[in-house]
Structure 1
Amino acid sequence: MATAHVFIVNSQTFKVHLEYMFAGTGVRDEYIDFNSQSNSTLNHKTENNLVGMIADINRIRIGDHIIFYLQQSGQNKIFEGKFYGIFEVISSSFLDNYGGEQYLTSELGKSLTFRIQIKPYEVYQEGVTEWEALDEIKNITSPNQMLWSLIYRKLKGNRGNTMITSYEFERLRQLLRNKNNKNILDSSAFSFDIETQKIISSSLFREYKGRKEEINLFPRLIGKFNANRQFESHLQAYILQNAEYYLGKYIEWIGNEVSCGVGMQRIDILISKKKGINRECLPIELKSTEAYLGITNQIQRYVDWLHQYYLPNCPSDLSPILISRRIDMKESECFSSLINEFNFFNKFNNIKLKYIEFFVENDELKLEEYEY
């Protein structure tokens, strides 16, 4: 199983993505000065926004699926947003920093800093309209069958790269198959015809020749850690990039900033893993600070939402995780109260909250489970 990701495009960028077989996100003309560096001159809000985009691209793995969402544009007579696909990821995420050497900036009409390369998987000419995907309910028998990841993205105006659940991908894939009478476009090169609003075969194969700088947030994370500054977004991006190392093998689906309601609740990281013949769902709450009393209230929201909207479509054992900064004073009354809170949460939900502390040792970020 692979994670599917939806990239937001316009008619100009979509054509370039198809012809050069890549996907990406970016923001204005910001130069990333903190890659492989411990310091940054960027405003902290700007930096955190960029690190959020890095987290989004870091969740993507080779073999994952890509769907493009073409935005509505009255000027180009695209009167409804449409979903097109399907493509497969063939590279790890990489950085092509803003500046004179950034590849295809003029063709795109914008800066796309964080990128991955793709290849055809099942490419369909016709796109599925937003109404058909999100609003049509004639085959929906329960609210949990709706494409909530995309509905939440629409409501909240989330970033340009959104993961969808395995169930949502299969539903969207079937909509594409039905719309195209199950006819797959057989070609090795593609483009986009804005007049017909269809993906078309192209006789011209364009090789991607842009820069591919490795994304490395670790020096910046350590710099913030040593300065005792907040770095939750950096921690998320780094763990996502190294999820298999920190969270084990057999990961089959990864999500981050997973919306679980129309409010502001988001699961920092959500992972689905194979566990023998069973499946395990791991909602992860990240804190760059020490854990504090009341922290399970947020995790409870995640658990309740997962029971109602995720687990019915993907039956799994629920195993929530809290990852936070190591608490040295474990003999304190406050820590004892925290453990009591964990035990109450476990008893109430009939599950075990795994408590993991992180620390830095020998210039390495280490995670260690605390047994209680």
Structure 2
Amino acid sequence: MMDALGLGETLKEFVPELPVGKRNGTRYTFSDIVGTSHAIHGLIKDAQRASLLNCAVLIDGEAGTGKEIFAQSIHNFSRNSQQPFVAINCAALPETMLDRILFGTVKGTFTGAIDQAGLFEEARAGTLFLDEIDSLSLLLQAKLLRVMHEMNFRRVGALNVIPVECRVICSTNKAPQKLIAEGRLRQDLFYRIARVALHIPPLRMRREDIASITETFIKKSNLILRKDVRFVSPELYELLLFYNWPGNLRELEHVLENLMIRVENNEKELGLEHLPPRLKQVLLSTREELKIPGERQNLPDTLKELEKQLIMDSLKRNMWNYPKTAKELGIIQQSLAYRMKKLGIAQRKES
């Protein structure tokens, strides 16, 4: 992987191999990230570079796009991969207990208090992953900002200062700029946690990855379920390709899991008949909304037509306002301009 991405032989000495069955609190490495699109390959390359810098990273992407998979992969590609990876969902942090959970406590500080390390200490020189960082109140964000600025903290009730040794990786489900504009993310905290910012595009914006993800999932499921599925029917593949996947990878895996459970042990092909009625109805409803070409085309031409249609529909909904269109599609405005030129969509003035 490193050589394929042009990172060179010299980096291998800094990236220790992890044993099978990792004991550092992770399950994933970059080899677990599947996809053939330029978007995902470029993202992996950027994430690998970030992992070697040992700086704070902010990952944004819709729910189900695989933000923690990237966070774990960054940790496992780093020089400190043997150190712990500690993850916490900030949406599950009670505001009154944040200090204790993150920074630890000293015995006798309050009734029932014991000497206990917080997550910053548990991570040691590894990685602390703060998922859904925007779920923290602005007051809690201010406390975190101070720690990120000073690079030290105190246990609750302690006088001595403990240095921060770990890398902090944060994630959000929405674009950080939107969260800042909505007053849900402090701008000064953003500057601290986003020394490197990575955006994971939604699955609907990289449909060319659906085939490779599906193939990989089927191979893994065959081993677990002792089946021998080798093919996906054209009709089913068309449904998978043209569905919008609001739940992204998580939803695709849910659908594939249902298919693999329902297929018989002697069957070699997944088809529409293996879809539960509820899932089939959901997939078909989206298919009807899209103007799928009547004549069967090859995959590149089909994806090109679909991308052009999605962009045109969004442009019309937003009255040819390019910033709004790019925001709706989950891409930057420069990328929208590039895609429009590539697809032959002439630019117009805003309506």
TM band (smaller chain): under 0.3
Point out the structure with max Rg over C-alpha: 2
TM-score (norm 1): 0.23
When you count helix as a share of all residues, which structure comes out higher? 2
